Amino acid sequence: MVEIVKVGIVGIGHGRFGNRNDATVQELAFEPFKQAIQDAKNLRREDIDALVVGSVPEYHMQRSLPGVVAEYVGMNPKSTWLTEAACASGSAAIRTAYMAVKSGMHDIVAVIGVQKMRELSTDEILALMGRVGDVQWESIFGTTFPGYYAFYASRHMHEFGTTMEQMAQIAVKNHHYGAMNPNSFFQKEVTVERILKSEEVAFPLKVFDCCANADGAACVIMTNEKLAKKLNDSPVWFEGMGSASAAMSLLRRPNLYEIPSAVEAGKQAYKLANVKPSDIQVAEVHDCFTIAEIMAYENLGFCDKGKGGKFIEDKQSYIGGKTPVNVDGGLKAKGHPVGATGVSMTVEIVKQLRGIAGKRQVPDAQIGLTHNVGGIGQYTFVNILRR
Amino acid sequence: MVEIVKVGIVGIGHGRFGNRNDATVQELAFEPFKQAIQDAKNLRREDIDALVVGSVPEYHMQRSLPGVVAEYVGMNPKSTWLTEAACASGSAAIRTAYMAVKSGMHDIVAVIGVQKMRELSTDEILALMGRVGDVQWESIFGTTFPGYYAFYASRHMHEFGTTMEQMAQIAVKNHHYGAMNPNSFFQKEVTVERILKSEEVAFPLKVFDCCANADGAACVIMTNEKLAKKLNDSPVWFEGMGSASAAMSLLRRPNLYEIPSAVEAGKQAYKLANVKPSDIQVAEVHDCFTIAEIMAYENLGFCDKGKGGKFIEDKQSYIGGKTPVNVDGGLKAKGHPVGATGVSMTVEIVKQLRGIAGKRQVPDAQIGLTHNVGGIGQYTFVNILRR
């Protein structure tokens, strides 16, 4: 066995997120898969060893999703299975593919993050999503996803004086960049005033503080150091991989103003990549709600604890600021097809590091980070990539 | 990075399969996890790096299963996620853990296969399971799981003259051994006469040709060569790992008397382990229906194509025969808690190779095999283990 030190990305693809009644789940999966193969140099589908599908299966009528996807995209008889870690399912798939390549078990692995959610009614989605929290002790009493993040927001406001205006500024930034991203669900700017006047979902969160359920898919093709240089002139490398868990039940968390799995996964990734938070030039973080992005700034060390509100107020997460964050629109503007999100984040970082992000390019970005939170923080995956 | 050549199992645990209304899904998971830690030598829970949960999530009221399991068994803040490949979800978890250890990303990984199915009604389970087949082209017309395997059985009978008596003999064998397994759902012998007189589910399958939905969990703890010898006096090693897929839709299969993913996964595993089918001294195969075990004999090369019926008729898969198969009772007698099954098979092979299988011990077994089929054959995982 040859020792494989580095694992890189040689192909990327990204479908349009949003209402995709035009496509079945397998058709959604095919779009970015085809793009990713074409994005790589001289890669044939037959060269791909394995397919890892990141998805939350229960939102689909079709079960056994990797089976139908592998058949539809033409991957039989290659190895395939699905990974699930709630909203971080796509990052669990990337971590699996990383281990598959690094172990030498597979040479070239395709990761497809895919989700179709818009067929279900909001009530059905709310009920299913509430059960992503602890069923025995929490969701049985009626907790929902916006409710969980409303707890975080209230506590963050109480502890640190974070304001609803600051949360709204997250949405303003992300819709600003989302308007430049043709794959975004929403491609319009919004203002703080409009957000603050929008309907309340769960105090203090307004409708514009919440991301939208969406249909969508994204794909990355990963390989080892030896093959990467043949398959792409500018492969992007995984330098640090972090993965951690935290108590599912909020009752068992030490506090409600940070996500401990994010802090831990970040530490692991920084250590492996041997970089500091200030070295990150572009980041994709999990802004399922605006408060989540504020906590991410702090949990990842982009700013001090409690200073996340100030960080956005000072526009430090805009291009030109200290650490540009979610300059593709984030979950907020792109929409959040849960299984696809972690892969979508990774695709954007690859574009940024290759310098092909167009109007939303962070100048000369060489080190990027993805931060993908599952559920209410029971999982976080943090990866650091470098060109 | 140290090159890791071998990955071994140092701890095993197996809960009782069956109606487990006494336990939540996380409680089911804890039972074998605790046993597996105690089975290893001087292993502390804190030494375990990561937890991979094999399960089909949609059967549970609780979503985000690894989150609640990791919390309940005390694995926070360690890395965790779920793998799904229908009825082969447990083997997908084992393959993931294998890659995690072999890549050097994790030193010690716990795999818990867990499933709670008996809360759902038979109608609900049938509907959900039908959708494990192709929804767009098949299940929409009313296909169910017994129906799918009835296709296989009919075709096998037509092509090769396989008989209902031979299928019944599979059930007789597996219930014979299941009666010696305290973790089995069913612990009673049955006769060919009783089986043939039992109610028809889908011609030619009688109720005794079908395995039962069950609750249950099993656990293995896997580590690298260096640590394995410290953590167990007789570690069992993975020598060959096979994983393949096949068309989800039966319409797109070349025939209905074999499972192409099983043939392919078997070839991979034999090649990596550098052994022949005749070298396998004990095997656990996926007998979700009796015809499935007959096809497994052929697909794995234990006998020639079309000779599976004769193989059981001649008792070649009994202890003392050519290749003892499912001497723990198989899915047929143990029950089939889908996510747990692949891990349960692995636990039995470890017991056999350690020589601790008691009344059902295959004398001096040194090489064993697991064969875990997902869905209607869209996935198969075949692993070869050696003591």
Using the Cβ of B116 and the Cβ atoms of chain A, whether some distance falls under 8 Å is answered with: no
**Which of B245, B250, B272 to mutate against chain A (most A CBs within 10 Å)?**
B245
Q: For A34-61, what is the mean pLDDT?
A: 96
Tell me if B71 is assigned to some domain. yes
Q: What is the pLDDT of residues A156-193, one digit of tens each?
A: 999 999 999 999 999 999 999 999 999 999 999 999 99
- Contact status, residue A217 vs residue A342, Cβ threshold 8 Å: no
Is the Cβ pair B68, A134 closer than 8 Å? yes
- Contact status, residue B115 vs residue B217, Cβ threshold 8 Å: yes
> φ and ψ at B40, to 5 degrees?
-75, 165
Cβ count near A208 (within 10 Å): 25
Q: Which of A60, A87, A156, A371 is catalytic?
A: A87
> φ and ψ at B155, to 5 degrees?
-70, -40
Instruction: Name the one residue in this structure whose structure tokens are 């399991």.
Output: B69
pLDDT at B121: 85
Q: Which residues in chain B are closer than 8 Å to A62, comparing Cβ atoms?
A: 131, 134-136
pLDDT at B1: 46
Pairing of strands B50-54, B108-115: parallel
d(CA B239, CA B180): 28
pLDDT at B3: 65
CA B106 to chain centre: 24
Strand partners, A215: A18
More confident residue, A4 or B231: B231
Q: Percent of chain B, pLDDT > 70? A: 99
3-state secondary structure B147-173: HHHHHHHHHHHHHHCCCHHHHHHHHHH
Q: What is the pLDDT of residues B277-292, one digit of tens each?
A: 999 999 999 999 999 9
Those residues with Cβ within 8 angstroms of residue B242's Cβ, 6 or more apart along the chain or in another chain: B264, B265, B266, B267, B268, B269, B270, B272, B380, B381, B382, B383
**Domain count of chain A?**
1
Beta-strand ranges (E) seen in B64-195 are 79-84, 108-115
Structure tokens at B51: 């937890």
pLDDT at B295: 98
Using the Cβ of B378 and the Cβ atoms of chain A, whether some distance falls under 8 Å is answered with: yes
Residue B361 DSSP code: P
- Contact status, residue A113 vs residue A218, Cβ threshold 8 Å: yes
Burial category of B233 from C-beta neighbours within 10 Å (exposed 0-12, middle 13-18, buried 19 and up): exposed
**Structural domain of B27:** 7-120+213-231
Is the Cβ pair B57, A56 closer than 8 Å? yes
- Contact status, residue A103 vs residue B103, Cβ threshold 8 Å: yes
pLDDT-derived band of residue A3, with 50, 70 and 90 as boundaries?
A: low
d(CA B102, CA B160): 42
Q: Which residues in chain A are closer than 8 Å to B267, comparing Cβ atoms?
A: none
Chain B nearest-CA residue for A138: B62
How long is chain B? Answer: 387
> Closest partner residue to B64 among A64, A80, A248, by Cβ?
A248
Q: Which of B106, B176, B336, B371 is catalytic?
A: B336
Using the Cβ of A252 and the Cβ atoms of chain B, whether some distance falls under 8 Å is answered with: yes
Using the Cβ of B5 and the Cβ atoms of chain A, whether some distance falls under 8 Å is answered with: yes
- Contact status, residue B35 vs residue B43, Cβ threshold 8 Å: no
Is the Cβ pair A134, B5 closer than 8 Å? no
Is the Cβ pair A70, B99 closer than 8 Å? no
Using the Cβ of A135 and the Cβ atoms of chain B, whether some distance falls under 8 Å is answered with: yes
Measured at the CA of B15, the angle between CA B297 and CA B381, to 5 degrees, comes to 35
Average pLDDT, chain B: 96
Q: For B326-332, what is the mean pLDDT?
A: 98
d(CA B351, CA A24): 45
Q: Inform me whether the pLDDT recorded for A307 exceeds 90.
A: yes
d(CA A93, CA B328): 33
Average pLDDT, chain A: 96
> Among A16-25, B117-126, B187-196, which is the least confidently predicted range?
B117-126
Grouping H, G, I as helix, E, B as strand and the rest as coil, residue B141 is helix
Tell me if B150 is assigned to some domain. no
Using the Cβ of A375 and the Cβ atoms of chain B, whether some distance falls under 8 Å is answered with: yes
More confident residue, A126 or B224: B224
Q: Which residues in chain A are closer than 8 Å to B29, comparing Cβ atoms?
A: none
Tell me if A49 is assigned to some domain. yes
Q: For A123-133, what is the mean pLDDT?
A: 86
Q: Inform me whether the pLDDT recorded for A231 exceeds 80.
A: yes
Q: Which residues in chain A are closer than 8 Å to B67, comparing Cβ atoms?
A: 85-86, 132, 245, 248, 374-375, 378-379
Using the Cβ of A248 and the Cβ atoms of chain B, whether some distance falls under 8 Å is answered with: yes
Chain B nearest-CA residue for A68: B248
- Contact status, residue B211 vs residue B288, Cβ threshold 8 Å: yes
- Contact status, residue B50 vs residue B80, Cβ threshold 8 Å: yes
Q: For A351-356, what is the mean pLDDT?
A: 98
d(CA B377, CA B292): 10
Cα torsion A54, A58, A63, A64 to 10°: value is 30
Q: What is the pLDDT of residues B351-365, one digit of tens each?
A: 999 999 999 999 999
Q: Inform me whether the pLDDT recorded for A2 exceeds 70.
A: no
Grouping H, G, I as helix, E, B as strand and the rest as coil, residue B243 is strand
CA B221 to chain A, closest CA, distance in angstroms equals 18
Residue A288 annotated in active site: no
Tell me if A190 is assigned to some domain. no
Q: Inform me whether the pLDDT recorded for A381 exceeds 90.
A: yes
CA B147 to chain A, closest CA, distance in angstroms equals 17
Q: Inform me whether the pLDDT recorded for A68 exceeds 60.
A: yes
Using the Cβ of B29 and the Cβ atoms of chain A, whether some distance falls under 8 Å is answered with: no
- Contact status, residue A121 vs residue A177, Cβ threshold 8 Å: no
Cβ count near B47 (within 10 Å): 15
Burial category of B254 from C-beta neighbours within 10 Å (exposed 0-12, middle 13-18, buried 19 and up): exposed
Pairing of strands B216-224, B205-206: unpaired
Is the Cβ pair B96, A96 closer than 8 Å? yes
Q: Which of B14, B60, B87, B219 is catalytic?
A: B87
Q: For B287-299, what is the mean pLDDT?
A: 98
Q: Phi/psi zone of residue B237: left (φ > 0), alpha (ψ -120 to 50 degrees), beta?
A: beta
Tell me if A87 is assigned to some domain. yes
Q: For A215-233, what is the mean pLDDT?
A: 97
Residue B39 maps to which CATH number? 3.40.47.10
Structure tokens at A35: 């793009």
Q: Inform me whether the pLDDT recorded for A241 exceeds 60.
A: yes
Say what angle helices A122-130 and A145-160 make with each other, to 10 degrees: 60
Using the Cβ of A71 and the Cβ atoms of chain B, whether some distance falls under 8 Å is answered with: yes
Tell me if B114 is assigned to some domain. yes
Q: Percent of chain A, pLDDT > 90? A: 91
CA B116 to chain A, closest CA, distance in angstroms equals 15
Q: Which residues in chain A are closer than 8 Å to B382, comparing Cβ atoms?
A: none
3-state secondary structure chain A: CCCCCCEEEEEEEECCCECCCCCCHHHHHHHHHHHHHHHCCCCCHHHCCEEEEECCHHHCCCCCHHHHHHHHHCCCCCEEEEEEECECHHHHHHHHHHHHHHCCCCCEEEEEEEECCCCCCHHHHHHHHHCCCCCCCCHHHCCCHHHHHHHHHHHHHHHHCCCHHHHHHHHHHHHHHHCCCCCCCCCCCCCHHHHHHCCEEECCEEHHHECCECEEEEEEEEEEHHHHHHHCCCCEEEEEEEEEECCCCHHHCCCCCCCHHHHHHHHHHHHHHCCCHHHCCEEECCCCEHHHHHHHHHHCCCCCCCCHHHHHHCCCCCCCCCCCECCCCHHHHHCECHHHHHHHHHHHHHHHHHCCCHHHCCCCCCEEEEEEEECCCCEEEEEEEEC
Q: What is the pLDDT of residues B1-58, one digit of tens each?
A: 456 689 999 999 999 999 999 999 999 999 999 999 999 999 999 999 999 999 999 8
**Which of A80, A81, A124, A258 to mutate against chain B (most B CBs within 10 Å)?**
A81
Query: Does an H or E element contain B89, and which?
Result: helix B89-102
Q: What is the pLDDT of residues A83-111, one digit of tens each?
A: 999 999 999 999 999 999 999 999 999 99
Tell me if A135 is assigned to some domain. no
**Which of B81, B114, B116 to mutate against chain A (most A CBs within 10 Å)?**
B81
Residue A219 annotated in active site: no
Q: Which of A156, A175, A286, A336 is catalytic?
A: A336
pLDDT at B159: 98
Q: Inform me whether the pLDDT recorded for A1 exceeds 80.
A: no
Pairing of strands B108-115, B216-224: antiparallel
Tell me if B334 is assigned to some domain. no
Is the Cβ pair B77, A1 closer than 8 Å? no
Sign of CA dihedral B26, B27, B33, B34: positive
